[in-house]
Amino acid sequence: MRCLSKQISRTTSQVRSVMMAATQTQTQTQTQTKREGNISDSFVSLSGAARPPLPQRFLDLKKALVGGHEDRVVDSWNRLLAELKRENKVITKEGPGIIPSLDFQDLDADLTRLRRELEKRGVAVIRGVIPEGEARSFKSDIEEYVKQNPQTKAFPPDDPQVYELYWSSPQIRSRAHPNMLRVQKALMDLWHTSDPKSTISMSQPLSYADRLRIRQPGDATFALGPHIDGGSVERWELNGYGRGGVYSNIFEGSWEDYDPWDASTRVPAIIDNYNGLGACSMFRMFQGWLSMSTTGPFEGTLMVNPAIKLSTAYLLLRPFFRPIKDANLTSSDEYLAAENWEFAGPEMTSELQGATPGHGQELNATLHPHLDLEHTMVHMPPIRPGDYVVWHCDTIHAVDKVHKGNSDSSVLYIPVCPVTELNARYLVRQRNAFLTGTPGPDFPGGQGEAGHVNRPTESYLRSHTGTEGLRAFGFEKLEPTPTDATGAKMVASLANEILGF
């Protein structure tokens, strides 16, 4: 009987592998392979690419978004500027202390206690998600992996700070770690669905393979300024985020009614219309990284604007307004005063400040003056190995221009992703990339780690995680929970079909 059981198990595994392979082959024919590159290709400011004016269709789009209710948009803009002015003072005064900090050992209690602040700030530090010694060892394991594979691509090539690695053993182990999966599941509970039939499940996370950073002291090359991932012009496009009406309240003149945590509006949204290098096509509720080092402010760490609702509203409304007097013709206070800003009307252009198709959304003090980014981009508080930092997918974030610390600032990028049809289809492609050692589908193409020595295999994954980790990677069938809403159960079934189960 035991031999028969093993044979049945082996046969089932073989059938499952055939189904997965068939699904992967079909998916490969439907997707476009990206050229080779690195993280600099994702941003105009890092790549040095030219940024031509946006075409006429974006002017037509802007007029359509606010047409017929311009007065309401103007009134909302004035209310927004007043609220921003107040909130900017709070952020500037509190600095890194404004970032909510939770302890993994008290995760549920801390999430309950800090929920309102988490929803307002859109960012958090979760302490001790991975044991400190284990997290420290990740960095040395990665350095050994790179040493064994000197062909590993990185940015910049002559002094690597960000590596084009997706499948090293520390990345696999951290993504599949039971503590990480528990935290991701808990964080997804900060979101909600306004429509219970929305085809999204937040009861089990899916894995997203991203890069890693080992930034050395003194580095000034990875000086990525304020930006938002998840597309750029798509936030205004009707066939982008507009498909779900994510920001409809903002464009209609009632930004106060906008809910950054409503997952229902995000399900139909398209966040990558231009197949950009590094442009994310998977819905990530949170971006995040796991620290492998000890860092503090100005030591090559993350900076954020912790006002998720206000900053999003301002970013989206800014292209509809212009200053009456330019900054060089008046004082700073007079320039920023609401009275100095008017609806662009017939003088409106196609410009969407800082948005370039196929690249991330970038922001700066000139294009977005009322955000006061010089003072409202606050550092993470001191971080230790094993701490997990997360930020809402619309959060403005940046990295220190110069790493002024004495030791490296090293992280593994690990976002938080729910189950949706879009995410399941991406996971099929990502699963195949893992098996072949090539970069994740969103990232610059090429051979990646296909020829790397000691690259982890499926058997390595299976030996270092349990069922939840295998589900996250697309190697086990998803199981709905009893509390899942109708839409969540539907999408779990659909995802299983897409994944070949």
Sole residue written with tokens 């199981």: 479
Query: What per-residue confidence (pLDDT) applies to 48?
Result: 61
What backbone torsions phi and psi does residue 452 show, to the nearest 5 degrees? -70, 140
Residues 268-299 as b/e (b if ≥16 CB within 10 A, e otherwise) read bbbbbbeebbbbbbbbbbbbbbbbbbbbbbeb
Residues 222-273: tens digit of each pLDDT: 878 999 999 999 999 999 999 999 999 999 999 999 999 999 999 999 999 9
Cα of first residue to Cα of last residue in the chain, in angstroms, is 26
79-93, 151-165, 173-187, 447-461: range with lowest mean pLDDT = 151-165
Residue 120's identity, in one-letter code, is: K
Q: And the tokens for 76? A: 């909302």
Whether the per-residue pLDDT at 14 is higher than 80: the answer is no
Q: And the tokens for 146? A: 């790179």
Q: And the tokens for 161? A: 């700070």
Q: Please, how many CA atoms are within 13 Å of residue 101, restricted to the half-sphere of its CB?
A: 11
CB 204 within 8 A of CB 471: yes
Whether the upstream peptide bond of residue 156 has omega within 30° of 0, thus cis, is yes
CA–CA separation, 408 vs 1, rounded Å?
A: 56
| Helical H segments across 330-400, by residue range | 332-336, 373-376
Give the model's confidence band at 34: pLDDT under 50 very low, under 70 low, under 90 confident, else very high. low
Whether the per-residue pLDDT at 12 is higher than 90: the answer is no
Q: What angle do CA 410, 412, 414 make, to 5 degrees?
A: 150
CA–CA separation, 354 vs 368, rounded Å?
A: 9
Query: What per-residue confidence (pLDDT) applies to 358?
Result: 87
DSSP secondary structure of 292-316: SS-B-TTBS-EEE---HHHHHHHHH
Give the model's confidence band at 23: pLDDT under 50 very low, under 70 low, under 90 confident, else very high. very low
Q: What is the mean pLDDT of residues 92-108?
A: 98
Cβ atoms within 10 Å, residue 301: 25
Q: What is the mean pLDDT of residues 437-442?
A: 94
Query: What per-residue confidence (pLDDT) applies to 216?
Result: 93
Between 282 and 30, name the one with better pLDDT: 282
Largest CA distance in the chain: 88
Whether the per-residue pLDDT at 16 is higher than 90: the answer is no
Percent of all residues in the chain with a pLDDT value above 70, rounded to a whole number: 90
Cβ atoms within 10 Å, residue 435: 17
CA–CA separation, 267 vs 299, rounded Å?
A: 37
Give the model's confidence band at 201: pLDDT under 50 very low, under 70 low, under 90 confident, else very high. very high
Give the model's confidence band at 359: pLDDT under 50 very low, under 70 low, under 90 confident, else very high. confident
Q: And the tokens for 333? A: 């206070």
Query: What per-residue confidence (pLDDT) applies to 45?
Result: 63
What backbone torsions phi and psi does residue 315 show, to the nearest 5 degrees? -55, -45
CA–CA separation, 118 vs 101, rounded Å?
A: 9
Residues 197-235 as b/e (b if ≥16 CB within 10 A, e otherwise) read ebbbbbbbbbbbbbbbbbbbeebebbebbbbbbbbbbbb
Residues 394-423: tens digit of each pLDDT: 999 999 999 999 999 999 999 999 999 999
For residue 378, what are the contacts with CB-CB under 8 A and spacing of at least 6?
91, 94, 95, 96, 98, 99, 303, 304, 305, 306
- CA 329 from chain center: how many Å? 39
Give the model's confidence band at 2: pLDDT under 50 very low, under 70 low, under 90 confident, else very high. very low
Residue 196's identity, in one-letter code, is: P
For residue 235, what are the contacts with CB-CB under 8 A and spacing of at least 6?
241, 246, 247, 315, 316, 355, 361
Sole residue written with tokens 């970069």: 439
What is the bridge-based pairing of β-strands 286-291 and 409-413?
A: antiparallel
Give the model's confidence band at 444: pLDDT under 50 very low, under 70 low, under 90 confident, else very high. confident
13-22, 120-129, 167-176: range with lowest mean pLDDT = 13-22
Query: What per-residue confidence (pLDDT) applies to 51?
Result: 75
Residue 421's identity, in one-letter code, is: E
In terms of average pLDDT, the best of 14-28, 32-46, 262-276, 337-351 is: 337-351
What backbone torsions phi and psi does residue 154 show, to the nearest 5 degrees? -160, 170
| Helical H segments across 95-193, by residue range | 107-121, 132-148, 169-175, 178-188
CA–CA separation, 311 vs 303, rounded Å?
A: 14
pTM: 0.91
CA–CA separation, 284 vs 73, rounded Å?
A: 29
CA–CA separation, 259 vs 257, rounded Å?
A: 6
| Helical H segments across 380-466, by residue range | 421-436, 458-463
What is the pLDDT of the chain when averaged over all its residues? 91
Residue 283's identity, in one-letter code, is: F
Give the model's confidence band at 208: pLDDT under 50 very low, under 70 low, under 90 confident, else very high. very high
Q: Determine the 3-state secondary structure of 177 from DSSP.
A: coil
CA–CA separation, 168 vs 94, rounded Å?
A: 38
* DSSP conformation class of 340: G
Between 125 and 274, name the one with better pLDDT: 125
Query: What per-residue confidence (pLDDT) applies to 313?
Result: 98
* DSSP conformation class of 412: E
